[in-house]
C-alpha cells in the first residue's frame, strides 16, 4: 500500500465508468489520480481523490458487482462526503452536473447541514458540512434520541 493511502476506500461500479469519472469531477471536484485501461481502451480500474479520501470507480464486473442502473435503482450503501466549504454552492454544482437532488440542503440536529443526491447511474450520495458545534445533550434534546459515543 502506498504511503498516505486512505485506510478505508469505497469502490463503486458503473455501466459507463468513464462517464462517471467526468461527472464526479464536475459535480464534486474529485481528482482522477489513477486510470488503468486495457488494450482496447476500456477502463480496468480508476481512483479519484477528494482531500485525503479516495473512491474507486470501475465497471460492472460480476453478477454481484453492478451499478444501481442495472438493479432497478437499488443501493446497498451510500457514500458520504464531508465538506469544509459552502454546502449550498456544492449542491448547486452537483445539480448542474446532472445529479438529482433528493433532499435539499437542510440543518440537522447534530450540527451539520446536509443534502442528498443521486448520480446519473443511481448511486446515492450524502453531503454534509458542520455548521455548528452541538453537545450530545443538545442533540438528544433536539432529536428525542439516546446517543452514545458522541465525539
Q: How far apart are CA 124 and CA 116, in angstroms?
A: 7
Q: How high is the pLDDT of residue 139?
A: 94
Per CATH, 1-60 and 78-145 having the same topology is answered: yes
* Cα separation, 45 vs 61, whole angstroms: 11
**Residue written as grid cell 454544482:** 93
Find out if CATH 3.80.30.20 is the number for domain 1-60. no
Q: Which three cell numbers, joined as nine digits, stand for 128?
A: 454534509
CATH class of 78-145: alpha beta
DSSP string, 43-74: EEEEEEEETTEEEEEEE--BTTB--GGGTTT-
Give residue 149's region: left, alpha or beta (phi > 0; psi -120 to 50): left
For residue range 104-140, list pLDDT tens digits in order: 999 999 999 999 999 999 999 999 999 999 999 999 9
Q: What is the pTM of this model?
A: 0.88
pLDDT at 7 over 60: yes
Q: SS3 of 19, please?
A: helix
Q: Which residue has the cell 451499478?
A: 67
- Domain coordinates of the chain in residue numbers? 1-60, 78-145
Amino acid at each position: 500500500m502506498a504511503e498516505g493511502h486512505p485506510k478505508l476506500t469505497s469502490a463503486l461500479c458503473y455501466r459507463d465508468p468513464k462517464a462517471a469519472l467526468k461527472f464526479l469531477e464536475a459535480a464534486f471536484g474529485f481528482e482522477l489520480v489513477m486510470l488503468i485501461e486495457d488494450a482496447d481502451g476500456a477502463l480496468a480500474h480508476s481512483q479519484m481523490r477528494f482531500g485525503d479520501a479516495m473512491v474507486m470507480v470501475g465497471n460492472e464486473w460480476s453478477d454481484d458487482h453492478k451499478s444501481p442502473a442495472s438493479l432497478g435503482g437499488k443501493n446497498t450503501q451510500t457514500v458520504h462526503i464531508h465538506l469544509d466549504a459552502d454546502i449550498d454552492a456544492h449542491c448547486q454544482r452537483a445539480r448542474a452536473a446532472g445529479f438529482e437532488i433528493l433532499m435539499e440542503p437542510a440543518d440537522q440536529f447534530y450540527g451539520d447541514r446536509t443534502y442528498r443526491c443521486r448520480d446519473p447511474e443511481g448511486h446515492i450520495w450524502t453531503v454534509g458540512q458542520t455548521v455548528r458545534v452541538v453537545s450530545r445533550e443538545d442533540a438528544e434534546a433536539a432529536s428525542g434520541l439516546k446517543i452514545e459515543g458522541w465525539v
